[in-house]
Structure 1
């Protein structure tokens, strides 16, 4: 974990008319899931529209907002969401508000077509950025001062841009990983299984973290073995032998496709499984340690505290007091 989980991160969302409902969900739902899994408020958010009226999404389902976007000196990250006809909202007043609030915000994100509005307001000048693949060439021609990158999302200092709804989900997983560690990001991603790879005739569902969505079949097979052997973890050598590669090669493949070493992913799986037992059952910690592949309660407690910044007993005590 890179930061304390005690302080909640607040995010403001400016949603433009005709935004896809799934785009809004791609930002909010991973944050909600992170709160649920952690058993505490890691994230909060407020929704705004240009005029304070509910947003009519393209699906016809309105999204209520807290009010009109009238920022003062807020420092929270601002996400600007748009899908269609962003130009209709790009009034001189809104662009002025965005320019003013950018002086204070720790970060600003253009989500899908929201990147156009940021560029139009000169907030992407001299930054790297991306946008929806259909608009990539037009965007690059319209804003030569922006360095366009063909990626699902781009994080460049205080600016973030994404290329669509699923890339936005990728982005949120990456932000969760950076703030709260790989284990939490992995568990959130497993709630939103949206990658399906066929391996040896089986349907293997594998979550993606960050920008890595294309999974090598050998890594996929290794991940499946890890999930099947949580109670009795395999050594790296045995794992590699089972999928037909050397241990060193498997390490390299994991780094390339998952962004972590095999043992980090394995440990995250085991700890997440253990945490679910800690939260959802009254099992003894020694029993949870055993079924999660730890050889002692003390080693389990050390790993648990290292990942979650609290002991298993502190988790149960905190959630009991909360309820």
Structure 2
């Protein structure tokens, strides 16, 4: 199986190593080069990862052929230097039967190439709001892995390892995949249909009571058009006071403040990973104007949205030109 990894500047290095290492181990276990991989960039030039480790690609994208799978690795703001030719190359590979995929933020440039129409894709939970805003017509899932036809997308580095185990199992059998998992002390082999779990702080309760969990689910469905605590209480058939007490016990916060925190996290995704102005972002998370959003944002993150965007853009530089989110 010939696998290509198309890396953009700032790609997460862990996503690359997490999928290559289990494939390498599988080759060693069976004593044969069943899996072969090639690191590729748009121009063939050295490419710096988010960890500031520089990778030397083996080829430039336009010269690639004879692949079985091509995975895209990048950040939400990753774009081709020459979008017309780069996107055309991905479409050409698709026409020639190559499976196209993406890991974590690499799903953004993959969708921009116009090859995901009609396909479902896995999106990391921290990019969901930005992805939904940028690509409202693309179906997304919070499953760790989505293998939808000839499109393989995974949410992050750990799920990239899981996908590698799936490829190993399909090609070499469950016993080899199990042995690879044991080599790396990878305790759980997750497949399709397994949803992402957002890490909890050590001090936080590992599981929310049913009442609070139901309320949080309703809040999550009403980020753009906020719902009141009274409306939530009616929906779950309790009193507003019961909702208040349940949230205080489970989270240490009132439901109103918990809800605001959810909306601020969604706002931050749009600040960091989209080009929307502050008024548009405010409306996307349920505010009629940007003024209260900016005030609540500063309380939540210690900086204004504009300062946060400027700070993250200071890490996105080619030459002397800042790269805005895209």
Verify same fold: TM over 0.5.
yes
CA pair 177-29 structure 1, distance change in 2 beyond 3 A? same
Asked if residue 26 in structure 1 is aligned to residue 21 in structure 2, the reply is: no
Stretches of structure 1 that go unaligned for 5 or more consecutive residues are: 1-8, 195-205, 215-323
The question of 1:62 aligning with 2:54 is answered yes
Q: Does 1:179 align with 2:171?
A: yes
Partner of 2:113: 121
**Aligned-pair CA distance for 1:90:** 6.8
Give yes or no for the alignment of 1:53 onto 2:53. Answer: no
Q: How far, CA to CA, are the matches of 1:40 and 1:81 in structure 2? A: 27
Q: Alpha-carbon deviation of 1:75?
A: 4.5
| Residue 164 (structure 1) shift | 0.9
Alignment RMSD (CA, Å): 2.1
Shift in CA distance, 22/66, structure 1 to aligned 2, threshold 3 Å: same
Q: In the TM superposition, what is the alpha-carbon distance from 1:40 to its structure 2 partner?
A: 1.2
Between stretches 105-114 and 148-157, larger displacement belongs to 105-114
The 1-side partners of 2:90 and 2:3 are apart by 15
- The alpha-carbon distance between structure 1 residues 110 and 104, as it changes in their structure 2 partners (threshold 3 A), is same
Superposed counterparts of 1:41-190, under 5 Å: 41-71=33-63, 74-83=66-75, 85-87=77-79, 89=81, 91-190=83-182
Deviations 1:155-208 (A, max 9, x none): 0010011111111111111121122211111111112224xxxxxxxxxxx342
1:210 corresponds to: 191
1:73 is displaced (CA, Å) by: 5.0
CA distance in 2: counterparts of 1:72 and 1:88, whole angstroms: 16
Tell me by how many angstroms 1:80 deviates: 1.0
Does the Cα contact within 8 Å between 2:22 and 2:164 map onto a contact in 1?
yes
Equivalent residues in 2 for 1:289-304 (5 A)?
Answer: none
1:84 is displaced (CA, Å) by 5.4
- The count of aligned residue pairs is 195
C-alpha contact 1:109 1:159 (8 A) present in aligned 2: yes
Distance of 1:134 and 1:90 partners within structure 2: 28
Residues 90 and 125 (structure 1), Cα distance of their counterparts in 2 relative to 1, 3 Å cut: farther
CA gap of 1:124–1:154, structure 2 versus 1, over 3 A, is same
Distance 2:188 2:11 in 1: 26
Pair 89,134 (structure 1): closer, same or farther in 2 beyond 3 Å: farther
Distance 1:101 1:183 in 2: 32
Query: How far apart, in 2, do the equivalents of 1:90 and 1:185 lie?
Result: 39
Segments of 5+ residues of structure 2 without an aligned counterpart are 197-326
- Whole-angstrom distance in 2 between the partners of 1:88 and 1:123: 15
Deviation at 1:140, TM superposition (A): 2.5
Distance 1:10 1:193 in 2: 26
Q: Deviations over 1:251-292 (max 9, x none)?
A: xxxxxxxxxxxxxxxxxxxxxxxxxxxxxxxxxxxxxxxxxx
